Amino acid sequence: MKNAAECDTELTLAIDAMGGDAGPEPVVGGVALAVAKGLKAKFLFYGDEAQLRPLIANAKGLDESSIQHADNVVAMTDKPSHVIRRGRDTSMWGAMTAVKEGKAQAVVSCGNTGALMALSRTQLRMIEGIDRPAVTALWPTPRGRSVVLDVGANVEADENQLVQFAIMGEAFYRAVAGVAKPTVGLLNVGAEDLKGHELIRTAARVLREADPDMAFMGFVEGDDISKGTVDVVVTDGFTGNIALKSAEGAARLVGGWVREALRGTINAKFGALFMAPGLRKLKDRIDPSSNNGGVFLGVNGIVVKSHGGADARGVASAVNMAARLAGENFRDEVAETVKAVRRRRASIAEAVETEQEIKAAAV
């Protein structure tokens, strides 16, 4: 993946500083950490100026940042419809508006996912040909990282939306990983062609017939996600979110067991000293914070959602993701591919209809 330090020095990111569970402190700390590790960018912090000013003043590398005061915060319990109607004075609204007006190239928020999605759709609008947005998750695998989508934006998705998710996921992975032809799979209860419900089998048929340029590998199962069998795993938001939360819980459980085992005896503690470099590497690979930052694909702008409870390290991961994507124009690629798939589907349908008419006439 591209290093955030390679991004354009004129990059500007809008930060919703108030939406996280712990307030603005880990958000400002995360931005400062990203800067300390090489990110070159300017930041527009949206939130309570009285809280933000001392935090930013005490942080290294944020001297050129600006604070845009917002009187209110979108609470985790706020309904998206309420935020759209009455949320103009919130930090989330202000940060999103900065992207809409071109003042920033991307927005990062730890806030309410539903509200952030609603504001993304209403302010930035959808890419032409895309019905619904999808949220991505980076998944650690033996080969590096794969992308899973959707992980929470849509409880249900029909065959057309799954096809759109596949197209968006392919373009996204190409942008962040630099892989010319990412492999794509549909998450199913089995890898065989006859497995699963009709909806997912139809989506697979469409991808095979109408998008011949995609490296579509067919169906993958749940354990294939962590194996890294394909680069992009496509599913609906209900299934994807459960898979994501289960994996995060398993990672924390294993991490806890490792710590418990290494503190159990004197010999274990001595062994831990010698194993420290390897253990740090293991921690980095399984820690959900190192993969934090879900991107809202399908909207006309870069929107990155950080976990509400993310620490500074997690926020830094989300900020770096926003920076990496800010210079990529994969949204045009998505729009063109969707159009091409629709044209091919129409041609296929027309050919089938013509064949049926010929057969009927012969009878």
119: domain CATH number is: 3.40.718.10
On whether both 219 and 338 belong to a single domain, the answer is yes
- pLDDT tens-place string over residues 308-362: 888 999 999 999 999 999 878 888 888 888 888 888 878 777 666 666 656 666 6
Residue 274 belongs to some domain of the structure: yes
Residue 184 belongs to some domain of the structure: yes
On whether both 201 and 346 belong to a single domain, the answer is yes
Q: Evaluate whether 165 touches 134 at the Cβ level (below 8 Å).
A: yes
- Alpha-helical runs (H) found in the chain: 24-36, 49-58, 80-86, 91-100, 113-119, 159-177, 198-210, 222-227, 237-262, 266-286, 312-326, 330-362
Residue 132 belongs to some domain of the structure: no
Confidence (pLDDT) at 352 = 60
Residue 167 belongs to some domain of the structure: yes
On whether both 312 and 276 belong to a single domain, the answer is no
Q: How confident is the model at residue 279 (pLDDT cuts 50, 70, 90)?
A: low
On whether both 220 and 359 belong to a single domain, the answer is yes
On whether both 285 and 312 belong to a single domain, the answer is no
The tokens of 270 are what?
């001595």
On whether both 221 and 341 belong to a single domain, the answer is yes
On whether both 94 and 57 belong to a single domain, the answer is yes
On whether both 334 and 314 belong to a single domain, the answer is no
Residue 130 belongs to some domain of the structure: no
On whether both 310 and 362 belong to a single domain, the answer is no
Confidence (pLDDT) at 276 = 61
pLDDT of 129 higher than 90: no
Residue 131 belongs to some domain of the structure: no
On whether both 153 and 265 belong to a single domain, the answer is yes
Sheet with 106-109, strands from edge to edge, namely 66-69, 42-47, 12-16, 106-109, 302-305, 294-297, 134-141, 144-149, 232-234, 183-187, 215-220
DSSP 3-state of 172: helix
On whether both 153 and 185 belong to a single domain, the answer is yes
pLDDT of 2 higher than 60: no
On whether both 207 and 103 belong to a single domain, the answer is no
Region of 200 (left: φ > 0; alpha: ψ -120 to 50; beta: rest) is: alpha
Confidence (pLDDT) at 286 = 55
Domain range for 320: 1-125+299-328
Q: How far is CA 15 from the centre of its chain?
A: 16
Residue 163 belongs to some domain of the structure: yes
Q: Which amino acid is at 131?
A: D
| Cα dist from 3 to 165, 231, 305, whole Å | 26, 19, 19
Number of domains in the chain: 2
Residue 161 belongs to some domain of the structure: yes
- pLDDT tens-place string over residues 104-127: 999 999 999 999 999 999 999 998
- pLDDT tens-place string over residues 180-233: 899 999 999 988 888 888 899 999 998 888 888 889 999 999 999 989 999 999
